[in-house]
Amino acid sequence: MMLAASFGARSAWAQVEVPMTPTPTPATSPVPAVSPIPMYPEKTPTPASTPTPASNGSVRVDSAGMFGVGGMIGNTSTGANAKLWFGEDVAAQFSVGAGPLGNNIRFHFDLAYVFQRIEGEENKYAMLFYGGLGAQASIYFKHPWPSDRTDVGVRVPVGMSIVVPDNPVEIFFEVAPDVAVYNDEFDDEDHVVFFVDGQIGVRYYF
């Protein structure tokens, strides 16, 4: 009886299932919210301003400070001339020479302004068209005139010159209407004379 009871108790014990408490899984740590790293596009270098065409190192006689001297042949005066540039458009020119009869000395002084510039193909040459305002003075000797006299007047030169880069030579052609006044010692009166000067010449620049 006792054996049976003991066997029965063991059977009952053997059938009891003890629930197993699962091992707690550690809670996953929350991932902190991080702002995404901004992906900036590569910075493109700012292009420099468009460069001007590279200078070929040419030297022009029609530039500030250039000074040239030369000779000229004209209907009212043949002799020497000079020119000084104050800028690429403004210059002063001076000339002195003798008249066609060889009986006078004539002086010209002008301020000239380049109002039109035509550049040749590939900058091989340039044609400068200029106008200006100046003064003239002429000293006439007695022979073949009845007496010595001095004319003083104004002139308006208009001309064209040709210059070549890296070439120190300027070739020019010019006409200049001018009006002068002189006093005649015989009648002691002032007289007005009108001329149209024409000249062609060349200058060499230093």
Taking only the tens place, the pLDDT of each residue in 84-141 is 999 999 999 999 999 887 788 999 999 999 999 998 887 789 999 999 999 999 998 8
Beta strand ranges found along the chain (DSSP E): 67-74, 78-85, 90-98, 104-119, 126-140, 149-155, 158-163, 169-184, 189-205
- 165 domain residue, yes or no: yes
Task: State the Cα–Cα distance between residues 34 and 56, nearest whole angstrom.
Answer: 59
Residue range(s) defining the domain that contains residue 127: 67-205
Question: What confidence tens digit (pLDDT) does each residue in 25-79 have?
Answer: 555 555 555 555 555 455 444 444 433 333 455 788 989 999 999 999 999 999 9
The two structure tokens encoding residue 206? 């230093």
- 161 domain residue, yes or no: yes
With H, G, I as helix, E, B as strand and everything else as coil, classify residue 72: strand
Q: Which of 75, 142, 86 is nearest to 110 (CA)?
A: 86
- 144 domain residue, yes or no: yes
Query: Is 105 buried (19+), middle (13-18) or exposed (0-12) by CB count in 10 A?
Result: middle
CA-to-CA separations, 165 to 30, 113, 170, in angstroms, rounded: 80, 20, 10
- 197 domain residue, yes or no: yes
- 152 domain residue, yes or no: yes
User: Please, what is the end-to-end C-alpha distance for the chain in angstroms?
Assistant: 148
Quote the percentage of the chain above a pLDDT of 90: 50
CATH classification at residue 192? 2.40.160
- 162 domain residue, yes or no: yes
Taking the model in full, what pTM does it have?
Answer: 0.68
The two structure tokens encoding residue 75? 């209907």
Number of domains present in the structure of the chain: 1
What sign for the dihedral angle of Cα 149, 153, 156, 157?
positive
Task: State the Cα–Cα distance between residues 161 and 59, nearest whole angstrom.
Answer: 16
